[in-house]
């Protein structure tokens, strides 16, 4: 959980996204940061016993800097007015499937899966799907999974119109093979985050994503020379 003061800090930062305001409110930021890190610690405490792949993670592996990278962005606002929690065996900087919690006014969500794999990783995932699509289909068809997360998002950015090169259009999993990103999500109201049971309730739902993450990550561990 986060406090109402932390949520108010994010709202005020969004309305005053400039360096002078941030410096003037540095003490508020320090309190917010401690609150943020404490929440991440609670997620780790709850998730680690249930997903051993997260065992080596520390809070610093799962948080994000508040400074925005504005080098290639038209939006030159220097700070993020949202926060994220990333739990993955690959940690930050390593492309792996994992669990994500996004906290932003009007756009909060939990998610999981493999977001926008790099080309070599995408080839491995497609190969895994081609040979073991029944495993993935069973995960996606699970009643609890389907109720909470539906299925993969599909749009021009996340899916091909035609089968990828080397795959037959008659392949039984051709629609899955067309995907370029493999994530699912569920939105929630940001006010839930101040409730005492917030972490526990979100962990219950995130764990439904564990089989999906394991399927994606096992694809990356395959020896291409085998």
Kindly tell me the burial class for residue 202, based on how many C-beta atoms sit within 10 Å of its own C-beta (0-12, 13-18, 19 or more).
buried
- Going along the chain from its start, the domains and CATH numbers come out as 4-220 (3.30.930)
- Select from 195, 183, 206, 225 the least CA-distant residue to 50: 206
Task: Report, as an integer, the average pLDDT of 55-74.
Answer: 91
Task: Report, as an integer, the average pLDDT of 139-158.
Answer: 93
What value does the CA radius of gyration of the chain take, rounded to a whole number of Å? Answer: 19
Q: In the chain, what percentage of residues exceed pLDDT 90?
A: 88
Question: For 129-140, what is each residue's pLDDT tens digit?
Answer: 999 999 999 999
CA atoms within 13 A on the CB side of 141: 6
Nearest-10 Cα torsion for 78, 84, 90, 93: -10
Distance CA 197, CA 46 (A): 12
Give the CA distances from residue 39 to residues 19, 61, 193, in Å, rounded to whole numbers and listed in that order: 26, 14, 10
* pTM for the model: 0.93
For residue 154, what pLDDT is reported?
85
């Amino acid at each position: 959980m986060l406090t109402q003061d932390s949520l108010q800090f994010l709202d005020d930062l969004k309305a005053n996204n400039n360096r002078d305001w941030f410096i003037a409110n540095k003490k508020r930021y320090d309190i917010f940061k401690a609150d943020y890190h404490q929440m991440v610690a609670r997620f780790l405490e709850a998730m680690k016993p249930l997903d051993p792949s997260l065992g080596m993670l520390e809070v610093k592996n799962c948080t994000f800097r508040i400074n925005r990278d504005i080098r290639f962005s038209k939006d030159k606002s220097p700070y993020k007015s949202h926060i994220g929690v990333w739990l993955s065996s690959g940690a930050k900087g390593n492309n792996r499937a994992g669990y994500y919690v996004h906290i932003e006014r009007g756009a909060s969500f939990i998610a999981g899966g493999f977001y926008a794999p790099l080309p070599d990783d995408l080839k491995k995932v497609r190969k895994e799907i081609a040979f073991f699509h029944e495993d993935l289909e069973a995960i996606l068809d699970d009643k609890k999974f389907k109720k909470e997360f539906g299925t993969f998002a599909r749009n021009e950015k996340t899916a091909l119109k035609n089968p990828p090169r080397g795959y037959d259009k008659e392949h039984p999993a051709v629609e899955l093979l067309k995907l370029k990103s493999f994530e699912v999500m569920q939105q929630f109201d940001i006010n839930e985050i101040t409730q005492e049971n917030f972490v526990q309730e979100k962990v219950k739902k995130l764990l439904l994503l564990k089989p999906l993450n394991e399927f994606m990550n096992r694809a990356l561990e395959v020896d291409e020379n085998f």
